[in-house]
Structure 1
C-alpha cells in the first residue's frame, strides 16, 4: 500500500500541487489507516515514511503520524471514503483567500460538470473543528478547500482523490486567470 501512496505523492509534487514536505495521504484498510508520517516529503515516501493507525480511536502511533491524522480519522468515520489526499494547492489556497463566500463556483466547464461547487471551510490545522468541517463537506462533495490551507479530496481509491485534487486546482487556476483578465 505504501507504494501507491508513494506513486501519488510523487505525482502531487511533480505537478506542483504540493511542495515536497507539505500535505499528506492516507488509505483506509478495515478499521486502520495507513497515513504519511509527519514531515514526510511526499516525493520520497518509503515504507518507513508511513504509519498504520486506528480509525476509530487515537493510538500511540498518532504522535508520529501526520498532524492532520485527526482530520483523516473523522473523514473515514463519517464518509464512505477509502482514500484521502490533503494538498496545499497554490491556486486553491489563493482562491480561498480571495473568496469571502463559503463555496467557490467553477467557471470552467469541467469544474462545473465534475465538481458543481467547491465548499470553502474553516478550521485550524490538526484541530477537531477542521476535522468536523472537512468530514461534513466530504459527506456531500468530492473535495473541499480549507481557508488558507489547501484541499482535501476523498475517493474509493487514491487515483479518485488525486483526480479531484487536480480538478479543484485546475478550476481554481482558471477562475483566478479569468477574474484577473476581467479587471
Structure 2
C-alpha cells in the first residue's frame, strides 16, 4: 500500500472506532505500520472527523517524523510494533465497559475476561492486565511492549484495551468484541456464569487463527 492508501485505511478505522461507540470525545488512538515508520492519529483528535492529511508519523522508536503532533501514546504503539513484528495495526480505546473492568480491584491480571462466548474465544487468546502508569508514560510503553511479545491484546489498568493485529479492520473488530464481553462480564457480576473451558477456548482461537492466515 502507498502512504496515501494507509492513511485512508487508518481514517476509516478511526471513524469505525467512534461509530461503534468505542471512543468518546478525543480519546483513543489508532496506528498502522508503514515500513520502518508508523502512521498514527494525532493528539487530541476526534476519531470521527480526523482527515488523512492530519495524521502524524513517528519512527519505530516513537519519535515524531512530521510536524503533526502524534498521540501521547505514540511510544506505546512503537513499543508494541517493535516487539510484535506480525502486527500491522494497533487500536487503543477507552471504551466504557472494558475500562470499567480495568478499574476493578479484584481482577485476574493474567486474563481479565473469561471467554463467555465463542466469538470472544475466536478473537482473543488472553487479556493480561498491565500495571497502571500515567497516559504517555514511557514506563507504560515498556510494559506494553514486553507484554506484546506474547499477547496481541492487553488491558491497561484504569485506562483501556490495546489491540495489535495484522490488519486495522480486524483490530477494530477485536476491540468491539472485548467491549461487548466486558459488558457481559459486568452484567453477570454476582451471578453464577459458565464460560467456555480452556480446551474449547484454545480450539476456537487456533481454528480462527489458521483460517485467517490462509486468507492473508
Q: Runs (4+) of structure 1 moved beyond 3 Å?
A: 59-63
CA deviation string 1:65-115 (max 9, x = no partner)? 110001011111111211011111111110111143313132412324432
Q: 1:104 aligns with which of 92, 107, 112?
A: 112
The Cα of 1:181 is off from its aligned counterpart by: 5.0
1:1-183 counterparts in 2 under 5 A? Answer: 1-56=6-61, 58-59=63-64, 61=66, 64-80=69-85, 81-98=87-104, 99-102=106-109, 103-109=111-117, 110-122=119-131, 123-179=133-189
Count of residue pairs the alignment pairs up: 182
Greater radius of gyration (CA): 2
CA-based RMSD: 1.9
Residues 29 and 116 (structure 1 numbering): CA distance in 2 closer, same or farther, change over 3 Å?
Answer: closer
Stretches of structure 2 lacking an aligned partner (at least 5 in a row): 1-5, 193-216
Stretches of structure 1 lacking an aligned partner (at least 5 in a row): none
SS in structure 2 at match of 1:133: helix
SS in structure 2 at match of 1:94: helix
TM-score by length of 1: 0.90
CA deviation string 1:38-75 (max 9, x = no partner)? 11110012023201221136246487111000101111
